[in-house]
Amino acid sequence: MVRKIICALDTGNLEEAISMTRRLSSCVGAFKIGHALTLPHGLEVIDRLQDAGAKRIFLDLKFHDIPNSVALAVREAARHNVWMLTLHTSGGPAMLDAAVQEARAAENEVNLVGVSVLTSLDQHTLTDRLGVSRTIEEHMVQLSTMAIDCGLDGVVCSPQEIKALREAIGHRGMIVTPGIRAAAGEQHDQRRVGTAKQALADGADYLVIGRALTHCDDIDGALAGFGFEGVTA
């Protein structure tokens, strides 16, 4: 099993997601789900995917609310045995602290990872539309370091910021990287992308790959195209 790969199930169709899980469960280390599946089917979708072979579920709902509301959300996610979940670091220290306290009190281990700048954003949008004067890298380092200081287990970043974040947080937290593309792969709606080989070399712990796996007929060929032959953890 290539445990560094988190497969994104980007579909709202539960039966399709179950089929993808059954087909890919022996090839990847975890499955990421988001609003497309949880809004129509509730968190019970996690149980269905686990029954289909998903040993680890990454719940990517990017919680961002007042501290008490986020703590309650983390508690509910923990009840469904999620392996990892996301929070927006811009919610601030009080929100992050509340999430950490709830996660540590859970019976099952839940890894909290912070999201600072979405991979769909570029510098123009961050500066001119959102009013953030820092560069993307500076902004991510600032928010990600704060998140690790608050006790989060890791952070999310694009391939382009891995080196800077690894240098900033050292080995205090994991780095989860979306925006992974094969050399000839399409970018889709993401702006800051990179290859699996370079992301791992720069210090990423987990790589999120979606359509390139879920929509391919030759999974072994797709994995080889990403350079994953023999890359396990």
Catalytic positions: 62
Backbone angles phi, psi at 55, to 5 degrees: -75, -30
The CB density around residue 216, as the number of other CB atoms within 10 Å, is 14
For tokens 């579920």, the residue is 57
Taking the CB of residue 48, how many other CB atoms lie within 10 A of it? 16
Token pair recorded at residue 198: 């370079």
DSSP summary character for residue 146: H
How far is the C-alpha of 2 from the C-alpha of 211, rounded, in Å? 17
Q: Which burial class, exposed, middle or buried, applies to 29 when counting CB atoms under 10 A from its CB (0-12, 13-18, 19+)?
A: buried
End-to-end CA distance of the chain: 9
